[in-house]
Structure 1
Amino acid sequence: MTYAIRDGRLVDPDGNPFLSLGLNHTDETALKFPRSVDVWRERYGSRQSWIRDGVVADLRGWGFNTLGWTSEYVAGGWGEALDWFGDPIDLKHSEQWSAAELRGAGMPYVAQVRVAEIEDWNGHPAFRPLDDDFADWCDHLGRAIAAEHADSPDLLGYFLVDIPAWLPHASGRDFAELVGLDTAARERKLYDVASRYYETIATAIRRYDPHHLILGDRFNGNKGIPEPVLRAMAPHVDTLSVQYFTEPTDESRRRMHDDLARWRAQCGDKPVIVADVGNWTPTELNPHREGLPDHAARGADYGAAMEALLDEPWFAGWHWCGYVENTGGRGWGLKDPWDEPYRPLTDAITEHNRRAAAYRKEN
C-alpha cells in the first residue's frame, strides 16, 4: 500500500485522510561554519546522528509528518530572488539527500526528479530539446531515482523541477519551439511542449515505479502558472504542487486560496500541495531581513495562512521553509545558526500542526 488519491483527496496507506505537513531545506552544513561547528561536533558528530537525533526528532516533536525537499539555498543573489521578471539570478543549492538517507529516516518523505535545469532561480537555464535524447534522459532518471524508491512504504511521491520557468525566463532563454513567438503564439504552442515534457517523464517514472504518486513540478505561485501547462500536465501527474508566499494579511491569504482553487480547476481538480511557504523576521545574523516583528508573530502567521486552506478537502500539503537559519539572507529558519529552536515560533507551529492533522482526520 502507498499514499494515494481517493475521491480527490490525499490518503495514507491505510486509506485515511492525510495532510502532508513537511519541512524543507534540511542541510547540516548550516551548522558547520566556524561559529557553530563545535555545536555540531558535540551534539551529533556524524550525518547519521544528525538525521536521527536532529532532523527526525525535531520534525516529530514539532508535529511535522513529512520530510520535505531537502536541498538548501547556499549562495547567489538572494536579494533579487523574488524579482522573477528582472535580471536573471543564479542561486546555488546543496545536494538532495540520498535515497538511503531518505528511506532510513523512517517517516514519510518526498523524492526529487530534476527533469530539466529550467528553474526561475537558475541563472544559466538549459532548455534542451524534448526529443529522443530527452526520453533517454527521463528513462535514466526513472532507473536512477524511481527504482530506488519503488518499494518504499514511506515515499509520498516524486516532485519534479523546483519553480520551472514555464512563463518566460528572466534570462530570455526558452524551449526551441517557443523562441521568437509573440505572447499569443507562445501560449498556443506551450501546451504541446508541456504535454511532451510531462508525458515523457511520467511514463519513465511509472515504468520503474507504477505505484507512488507523481507530485509534479513545484510551481512558482507568486509568479503565476500558465493555463496551457496546467491542462497539459493533468493526465500525467497526481497533485498540483505550488510554492506560495503570502503577506501577513487576510487579503493576501484569500488571494492564495483563490489562486490555488483556480489553478486546480484548470488541471482537472487535483489535490494541492503548498510545496514551499514561509515567513521571516530580522535575526542576529540577518538583521536586514524585513518582515514580521518577531518569532511569535511568525508563529501566528503560520497558523493564519494554513487556516485559509484547511477547510478545503483538496488541501493536501503544507511544506515549510526551512530548518536551520542560514547566512544567505533568508532569516527564516525554525532554528538559529547555533541549532537552538526559536521557541515562540516552534511552540506555535507544533500546536498548529497537531490541530491541523487532527482536523484532517476528522474531516
Structure 2
Amino acid sequence: MSSESTDAQSFFRVEANESGRWSFIDPNGEPFISLAINHLDDSDLRYPHNVEVFDRKYASRKAWTKGVVRDLQDLNFNTIGWTSQYISGGWGEALDWFGDPVDLGHSSPWPDDHLLSAGMPYVVQIRVQEIEDWNGHPAFRDVYGEDFQKYADWIARRMVSDHKDSTNLIGYFLVDIPSWLPHASGRFWPGFEGLTPEEHDKKLFDVATQYYKTVTEAIRRYDPNHLILGDRYNGNKGIPEAALRAMTPYVDVLSVQYFTGKTDDEYTTMIEDLRGWHELTGKPVVIADIGNWVPTQMNPHRTSDMETQAERGGDYANGLAKVVAEPWIIGWHWCGYIENLGRGWGIKDPNDEFYSEMTDQVRDANAAAQSAIAGSAEGNKS
C-alpha cells in the first residue's frame, strides 16, 4: 500500500455486510481481519544476556524493524500491533488488578517514521490519561478542566500529525486497560467518595462522556479520516456499563484485552462477555491483547494450563478459529513477540529464534482466518 492519499475512501473503515458480518475494510475496499503482534520492542534483545544477538543480526534499530516486518509477514500476521513493551515489575503484580498497587514499567512506542516506513498496516496509541491498571502511580486528571482540554488538543495534534495521510494506519487506540473500575492504588477521579451505587454510575457516565467527547473531538479535529479504536479495556477485570454507554457515540470499535486458558469453557466465557459488550454498544470488537505461555528455560515459573510450545500453538489455532466464527469480532492482537525477563513469554525465544512448534501452527491458523474472512465476503457477493 502507498503511504499517502487524499481520498477518504482509501482509508481503513469498519462495516457490516448484508449477512451481518463485520470487518475492517481496507483502502482497496476488501474485508480485513486485523491479525497483529503486540509488544514489538528492541529492548527484548538489549539485555545483557542477548545484546550480542542484536549486534550480530541487526546492529541498528532500523534493521531490526525490517526484521520484525519479515517475521510478521512470514507468520501471516497483517498488522503491527501495540508497540510498547513491559520491561519491569514483578509478575504477580501484573495480574493483581485489585490488590497492592501495580507498577509495571513500559518502553516507549515505535518512532513515527518507523511505523510509516514499515509498509504494512499498523495502529497508533494516544495515551490521553495515565490511568492504566498496570500503572502504580495513576493520575486521574479532571476531564472538565481547561488543562485537560488543552492537553487533549495538543496530544491529538502531535500524535496524528505524521499519520493523518497514511493509508496503512488502521486507527488510534487510547489508553491501555484504563481503570474505569476501582484502581488497585485506591486512586480515582475526584468527587466519587460517599456516592450511592446509582450516584456513582451516573457520575461515571458523565465523566466518561466528557473524557471521550474531549479526546475524540480533538483527534478528529486534526484527522477526520482514520478510525478511533478507543480504550483497550481490561475484559478480565470487567467493564462498567456506564463507561461503555458513554463511549458508544464517540468510538468506532470496541477494543478489549482478554486472557483465557485453553479450555472450551473459558473461551465460551470470554466470547459471551465480549458478545454482551458488543450488543450493548453495537460496535465490532477487536481483541486488543490475548496470549498464552508455558514454563521456559528463562522463565520456569511462568506456569499455565499448558506445558509445551506445541500446546501453545494448538491453543492459538483453536482460539483464533472460535473468534473468527463470531461475525462481530474483527481483530486478534497477540501478546507478544520476544520472550524477556519482564513479560516472560513470546513467539520467539531470548535468542531471537521462533518457538517453531508453536509458530508453525500460528502461520497456518492466520492463513485460515484470513481465508475465512475473504470467503465470507465472496459468499455475500454471490
Place the TM-score, normalised by the shorter chain, in its bin: over 0.9
- CA distance in 1: counterparts of 2:252 and 2:61, whole angstroms: 33
CA distance in structure 1 between the partners assigned to 2:193 and 2:290 by the alignment:
32
Q: Using the TM superposition, give the Cα deviation of residue 151 of structure 1 relative to its aligned residue in structure 2, in angstroms.
A: 0.2
Determine the C-alpha separation between the residues in 1 that align with 2:208 and 2:75.
38
Deviations 1:187-236 (A, max 9, x none): 12111000000010000000010000000000000000001111111110
- Give matches, 1:140-151, under 5 Å: 140-151=154-165
How many angstroms apart in 2 are the aligned matches of 1:248 and 1:356? 19
CA offset at residue 313 of structure 1? 2.0
Which amino acid in structure 2 is aligned with residue 4 of structure 1?
Answer: R
2:250 maps to 236
Deviates more, 1:60-69 or 1:182-191: 182-191
- Kept in 1, the 8 Å contact 2:93–2:103? The answer is no
- The CA RMSD over aligned residues, in Å, is 1.0
Aligned residues with identical type, % of pairs: 54
Within a 5 Å distance, the mapping from 1:136-215 to structure 2 comes to: 136-215=150-229
* Pair 1:60-2:73 in alignment: yes
Query: Which of 9, 14, 17 is the equivalent residue of 1:5?
Result: 14
Equivalent residue for 1:305, pick from 315, 319, 337:
319
Secondary structure, counterpart of 1:74 in structure 2? coil
Cross-structure match for 1:117: 130
In structure 2, the partner of 1:128 is 141
Partner of residue 331, structure 1: 344
Change (3 A) 1:179 1:106: farther
The DSSP-based 3-state class of the residue aligned with 1:136 is helix
What secondary structure does 2:87 align onto?
Answer: strand
In the alignment, which of 78, 82, 97 is matched to residue 84 of structure 1?
97
Q: Which residue of 2 aligns with 1:75?
A: 88
| Preserved CA contact (<8 Å) 2:347 2:355 | yes
Counterparts in 2 of 1:100 and 1:87: CA distance versus 1, 3 Å:
same
| Distance of 1:303 and 1:180 partners within structure 2 | 47
Confirm whether residue 105 of structure 1 aligns to residue 118 of structure 2: yes
2: CA distance, partners of 1:117 / 1:180? 24
Structure 1 residue 46: Cα displacement: 0.3
What is the 5 A alignment of 1:261-280? 261-267=275-281, 269-280=282-293
Report what 1:295 is aligned to. Answer: 309
Residues in 1 aligned to 2:177 and 2:350: alpha-carbon distance in whole angstroms? 27
Question: Structure 2 counterpart of 1:125, which letter?
Answer: P
Q: TM-score, normalised by structure 2?
A: 0.92
Amino acid aligned to 1:356: A
| TM superposition shift of 1:78 | 2.1
- TM-fit CA distance, 1:251: 0.4
For 1:228 and 1:361, how far apart are their aligned partners in 2? 36
- C-alpha distance in structure 2 between counterparts of 1:290 and 1:97, whole Å: 30
Residues 117 and 126, structure 1, Cα contact 8 Å, conserved in 2? yes
Change (3 A) 1:179 1:104: farther
For residue 80 of structure 1, report the CA deviation from its aligned partner.
Answer: 2.3
Q: Point out 4+ residue stretches in structure 1 off by more than 6 angstroms.
A: none
**Conserved in 2, the CA contact under 8 Å of 1:281 and 1:331?**
no
Q: Which runs of 5+ in 2 are unaligned?
A: 1-9, 17-21, 377-382
Deviation for aligned residue 1:141: 1.1
- What CA distance in whole angstroms lies between the structure 2 residues aligned with 1:185 and 1:333? 43
SS of 1:58 mapped into structure 2: helix
Cα offset, 1:172, TM superposition:
1.1
TM-score, structure 1 as length reference: 0.97
Distance 2:109 2:12 in 1: 22
Q: Could you tell me how far apart the structure 2 residues matched to 1:9 and 1:340 are? A: 33
Deviation at 1:10, TM superposition (A): 1.7
Distance 2:14 2:315 in 1: 29
Matches within 5 A, 1:241-256: 241-256=255-270
Secondary structure of 1:86's match? coil
